Structure 1
């Protein structure tokens, strides 16, 4: 039975779960493959939708634009992504995933799904869906409802 403030704190509980799942996945699957967590997030975003701007990617991986740009430089050198100027707005750069990036992310997503299943094994399917829906509502209430399908701001 929860007793103290931290046991009742959404902030603390969400941070603790995110940290534990992230560290576990990183050490099990990413570190052994020489992949940084942010690279995994970028590949997952681009696997869902190509032609994302640097600013959209930055907002989803919790990095500023200059740091995201350096990350994308490394990923481009590794052949995981490609970049090109936007045909609509030359000030923007569009980022796409390459075949090599797709091969890498496909395996990682399967592993992530297995890890999520293990971490939530006590949940019924509907309970897990409700938890994810509730977290999306919290994000919406925090003004973070933007998805990768939302237009750039």
Structure 2
């Protein structure tokens, strides 16, 4: 592949990722979800995992520590996330959804799924499999 082709494909990948996030953020705002896309990703990951450290969560959502700290602070103020002292390390905390946070995730999951389905319209099963294969290859190349 030439450098020019590589640049074109990288641009397409970046452009598409940005468009997906912008579309989702617009829908979150229009439907008054009371969350940003990044806040949703944090809550979704907390709902799928018990008692995560901030470091573990940062790796899952691909955020640096200062950015994740700001997101957690906002979610805590909204009453969706709670910091619990770590039983083995007094200096750190584990993160958990509150009951309100769990209800919010349950309420929004089908709505978020519907928003995501828009991006996949007009693609068939073979398209999905090829897309998944390509993305996994790119991901593994960068390990």
28-37 or 118-127, larger mean C-alpha shift? 28-37
The correspondence of residues 3-152 of structure 1 with structure 2, limited to 5 A, is: 5=4, 9-30=8-29, 32-143=32-143
Decide whether the 8 Å contact of 1:7 with 1:13 is kept in 2: no
1:76-111 per-position Cα deviation (integer Å, ceiling 9, x unaligned): 121101111222333331111122212222333322
What's the TM-score once normalised by structure 1's chain length? 0.76
Superposition RMSD in Å: 2.3
Taking CA–CA contacts closer than 8 Å with sequence separation of 6 or more, which of the two structures ends up with the larger relative contact order?
1
Question: In the aligned structure 2, how far is the partner of 1:136 from the partner of 1:97?
Answer: 30
CA contact (8 A) 1:84 1:93 kept: yes
Structure showing the higher helix proportion among its residues: 2
Q: Is the 8 A contact 1:25 1:115 kept in 2?
A: yes
Q: 2:89 aligns to what SS in structure 1?
A: coil
**How far apart are residue 75 of structure 1 and its match?**
0.9
SS across alignment from 1:96? strand
Gaps of 5+ in 1: 144-153
Q: Unpaired runs of 5+ in structure 2?
A: none
Change in 2 beyond 3 A, CA 1:76/1:131: same
Q: Distance in 1 between matches of 2:72 and 2:78?
A: 10
